[in-house]
Amino acid sequence: MVAIGVLALQGSFREHAALLRRLPGVSVVEVRTPEELMSVQGLVIPGGESTTMALVAERWGLIPLLRDFLSSGKPIWGTCAGMIFLAERAEGTKSGGQALLGGLDIAVSRNFFGAQINSFETQLGAPECLRKFGGEDVFRAVFIRAPAVLQTGSGVEELAHYTLTEQEKDPAERLLHFVCVPLLCLCLTSTGGCGRLWVCVSFHQEPTSDLQWHQLFADMVFAHAGQTAVEQQAIQSSQDALTGRTPARPADLPVYGKQHLALAQ
């Protein structure tokens, strides 16, 4: 088993945890304390409200410990607010700015698309690293008050991007310097002194039933721990055969209510 933590200070940590628990060989820890952070081999920083997340982390004394975790080389996945939290630079922050963990050489713009009413869902071209799980050539991406990546440094690889519509490019709707910059929605970097492994996305994937992104991140954690998802799947299948269990949870519900758990049992 590998232990994957989900930073559980604010935001959609429960949805991430529910999807991760569906993967073989993965145990999930909701991280709120230093001890819980030290117990995991990879960390998901979920979507939510990045300023609130930073304030709670500061109040609970987690900022320096999170920075130590990032510098350790363990895999990190930041979604939406989590991506902002990991960025080196952020535009559009509230008065006085906000604490950033840093480490990922990108510049982001908070709430790039506007208010909650401007949230949307679309399909994006799947990168090769995602297609290895047997999925389609596109994947669902849910943008909720989403940030955008405006600039990337060396060592940051673009895996997928969203093309702005003409209305979104309209200078009346958008500051001029945004118009000429490609909008990146996902970045991956494996550079740094510790051989860091990062995945950062500006969209929410956890409201969907698609496990591919969580499989991709778990694969990174397994590899860092010297294992592979394929090996873990074989172990789980062997255990199921020995116990006579057949996984029966519905595949299209990230979060289960009591009635669905009863059906699964």
Calpha distance 3→221 (Å, rounded): 9
Percent of the chain with pLDDT over 70: 70
Averaged confidence pLDDT in the chain: 74
Q: Annotated catalytic, 204? A: yes
pLDDT of 240 reads 54
Q: Annotated catalytic, 177? A: no
Residue 211, CA distances (Å) to 97, 198, 229 in order: 34, 18, 13
Lowest mean pLDDT among 1-10, 243-252, 256-265: 256-265
Please write the tens of the pLDDT for every residue from 120-146: 778 888 888 888 877 788 888 888 777
Q: Annotated catalytic, 180? A: no
Percent of the chain with pLDDT over 90: 17
Most confident of 147-151, 166-170, 217-221: 217-221
- Candidates 15, 80, 185, 214; catalytic one: 80
- Candidates 185, 187, 200, 204; catalytic one: 204
Domains with residue ranges and CATH for the chain = 2-264 (3.40.50.880)
CB atoms within 10 A of CB 180: 7
- Candidates 15, 16, 185, 206; catalytic one: 206
- The more confident residue out of 202 and 30 is 30
> Position of tokens 């789980």?
236
What pLDDT band is residue 216 in, cutting at 50, 70 and 90?
confident
Calpha distance 182→162 (Å, rounded): 8
CA 162 and chain centroid, separation: 17
What pLDDT band is residue 164 in, cutting at 50, 70 and 90?
confident
